[in-house]
Structure 1
Amino acid sequence: MDGRVGVERERAGRPGANWDELRVFTWKVLIVALIGGLLFVGWQVADALLLVFAGVLLAILLLRATGGVRGLTGLSQAPAFGIVLVVLAAVTVAGFWFMGSTLAAQFSQLSDQLSAGIKQLPEEVRSQITDGSLSTALISRLRTAATGLMTFLADVVVVVFAGIYLAASPGLYRRGLVLLVPPSGHDRAHEVLDATGEALWKWLIGQLISMALVGMLTYAALLTLGMPAALALAVVAAALEFIPLIGPILAAMPAILIGFAVGPTTALWVAGAYLLIQQVEGNLIQPLVQKKVVSLPPVITIAAVVAAGTLFGVMGLFLAAPLAVVTLVLVNFLYVRDSLGERPRFPD
């Protein structure tokens, strides 16, 4: 015992021991400072990072479509990718050509019907609309909405080009991510990237199926009820289905307001129709879709929507679910598997 104490005192008394401890401490401080600096920079450019992440989702769709074309035609990657882009461009142009005028008329009708719905509100509310304070606030909100629309269109352009560039050279960006990891972890990095891409693809497929079915059911229900602007409302319902939990509620609000313009009874039928569609989506469509795709636990979905919406606003709401998918994959592979030694349980 006395010998061990003497050795420790001898080591502590050496000048080199104090220098080594200081160097280790300095490196730890620098690493913590670097991580903090990266987090601060990431927070400052969060909107740009979210746009890039949305581009990753688009790139996954393009790459899967390219893989399907290659399987059917036997072409190499570049020609197959070119065919996918040409087909998508043609479908987009054809959709605007045949449906653009109809949708424009529908959304114009939607605006008129919303104005008519406001007139059905109680007298106290309508009287406030006629005075200067609320009308000024409404004009200000309309200007803000117009600015937001232009920003949204610019963001869409960024996402489209980011998705195309990522899908055109996926190996380049994949190698860049892997190089950020020490050489001993390259194999695990490839494994995690493969699992993340597969999970996002399965989640996207399930989400797109749900959006399409909700849009069709909404359109059929509103046509049956004789609602004006049924197509525009169905498009809104399908688009907002991308936002878990909150999206269906936001989609129902303009429809119910327009229902009041037709009549209180119609508004009640519209509310019931939206509620029924969500019950069908949650209890029939989702269970069938989830057999083949990735589904998120409800509590995690709620937490992701609240957190992403609070931190990143509207864009965070739209990307909350796929961000939660990525987080679950990382936790399962890097913590559950590597730290706890158990089999990853997500994605199933």
Structure 2
Amino acid sequence: MSDSPAPRHEAPGPSDFSDPLTTREIKRAAIWISMAGAAIALWYLAQPFLLILGGLVFAAILDGGTRLLGRVLHIRRGWRLAIVTIAGFVFLLWTIYYAGATVAGQFEALRAVVVAQVARIMGWATSIGLVQPGDNQINEIGRQVMGSLGKLTSAVGTALGAISSLAMILVIGIFVAIEPRLYERGFAWMLPIDRRADFYQTSARMGRTLRLLMAGRLLGMAVEGVGTWLLLMIGGVPMAALLGLLTGLLAFLPNIGAIVSGALMVLVGFSAGFDKGIWSIVVYVVVQSVDGYLIVPMVAKRSVDLAPALVLGCQLLLGTLFGILGLALADPIVCMVKVLLEERSRPAEGA
């Protein structure tokens, strides 16, 4: 053994957690690792999270209908919720039963019309010199456009194929709508006591905003679908019922849905003649004007006024990342984030 005296001041090593510097660095590393792990988990669990969010949106629709029914029918909330839920499912089954066979038979006809119209457009582009004859890009563009529109016309079949996801959304929505306070209190229990009052306030405003947003969305879908069907039928445009159904369904996706439904409407209209094509354009402008200048401002005044460019950007982003489910839920997600940010900024404004 060495006879030299031990040093009076020993510096802590890397395994000594009593050192403040080591403890601080470990905390930093843990935070970064946790954030990275959360990001990875969120990416892999995005679809289940979106299904849960879809269930919450459906719960907001049921809750809004229950509250609206309570204004004219003064019975217990459970009975009103049962009436709204059963009425919704009966209407859905009635629509599928009476309109399903007719609409399904028109999908292939719609696909053939769209393909023929796209071929005519490509031929016109070739005749005026926009593209060179025999260019391989013509066939490539045509295949891409026709393939995309083919996928669009089979959207109903794809939705029916995803029956398990739809059933999960419906089940979650019904359970949450039955006892919303139970889940709200359960989530608040995980928060510090001094933050629960703010959570309840934010949750109440989010719920009200989401109910108004979905009420406006359903009203817009009904107006656009029925209005398109009736006006196209009056003008003698073929497949008016199918175009009305697609327009109503796509109205759930603001901006993008209107563009896609309008393109289909115009293509089908011009396939039946020049006058039918002009009438289709007039119908599209009238229906979108009613929705854009009457329904949307009325809903935005009572809920959250969302910038169209912001909603469109989020639709493109979430649609690219998570598919049709992300595209459909982009509007509610932006709405909830905006409400959350506004509530979080209130203390800072009052300070």
The 2-side partners of 1:138 and 1:303 are apart by 24
- Residue 346 of structure 2: which of 328, 337, 343 is its match? 337
Contact 2:225 2:244 (C-alpha < 8 Å) held by counterparts: yes
**Residue in structure 2 matching 1:168, options 152, 175, 178:** 178
Give, as a single letter, the amino acid of the residue that structure 2 aligns with 1:89: F
Structure 1: which 5+ residue stretches go unaligned? 1-12, 344-348
CA RMSD of aligned residues (A): 3.6
- Aligned equivalents of 1:297, 1:342: Cα separation in 2: 26
Distance between the aligned counterparts of 2:181 and 2:72, measured in 1?
A: 22
- Opposite residue 55 of structure 1, the aligned amino acid is G
Aligned positions, number? 323
Q: Aligned letter for 1:108?
A: G
Deviation of the 1:69 alpha carbon: 4.6
Aligned ranges for residues 186-265 of structure 1 at < 5 Å?
A: 186-265=196-275
1:115 aligns with 2:123: no
1:206/1:289 contact within 8 Å kept: yes
Shift, 1:195, TM fit:
1.2
Distance 2:305 2:187 in 1: 26
157-166 or 167-176, which deviates more: 167-176
Which residue does the alignment assign to 1:35? 35
TM-score (norm 2): 0.78
Question: How big is the shift at 1:236?
Answer: 0.8
Q: Distance in 2 between matches of 1:236 and 1:83?
A: 27
Distance in 1 separating the partners of 2:250 and 2:317: 18
Q: TM-score scaled to structure 1, two decimals?
A: 0.79
Question: Hey, what's the Cα distance between the residues in 2 that align with 1:81 and 1:93?
Answer: 18
- Counterpart contact for 1:114–1:258, Cα < 8 Å: no
Aligned partners of 2:115 and 2:12: how far apart in 1? 83
Please list, as runs of the form range in 1=range in 2, the aligned pairs for 1:1-348 lying within 5 A after superposition: 19-70=19-70, 72-96=72-96, 100-119=97-116, 121-122=119-120, 148-334=158-344, 336-338=345-347, 340-342=348-350
CA distance in 1, matches of 2:192, 2:242: 51
Q: Once the 2 structures are TM-superposed, how far is the Cα of residue 103 of structure 1 from its aligned partner?
A: 4.0
- 1:80 Cα deviation from its structure 2 partner: 3.6
- 1: CA distance between counterparts of 2:143 and 2:224? 35
CA contact (8 A) 2:221 2:249 kept: yes
| Contact 1:110–1:228 (8 Å) recurs in 2 | no
Structure 2 contact 55–173 (Cα < 8 Å) conserved: yes
User: How has the CA–CA distance of structure 1 residues 215 and 187 changed in structure 2, closer, same or farther, with 3 Å as cutoff?
Assistant: same
Q: Unaligned stretches of 5+ in structure 2?
A: 1-10, 124-133
The Cα shift of 1:41 comes to 0.7
Q: Which moves more between the two structures, 252-261 or 230-239? A: 252-261
Change (3 A) 1:102 1:258: same
Secondary structure (helix, strand or coil) at the match of 1:92 reads helix
Contact between 1:221 and 1:273, CA under 8 Å: does it hold in 2? yes
Q: Distance in 2 between matches of 1:327 and 1:138?
A: 35
SS in 1 for 2:19: helix
Hey, what does 2:126 align to over in structure 1? none
Distance 2:249 2:293 in 1: 20
Moved over 4 A (4+): 13-18, 68-74, 127-130, 144-147
Aligned partners of 1:17 and 1:341: how far apart in 2? 42
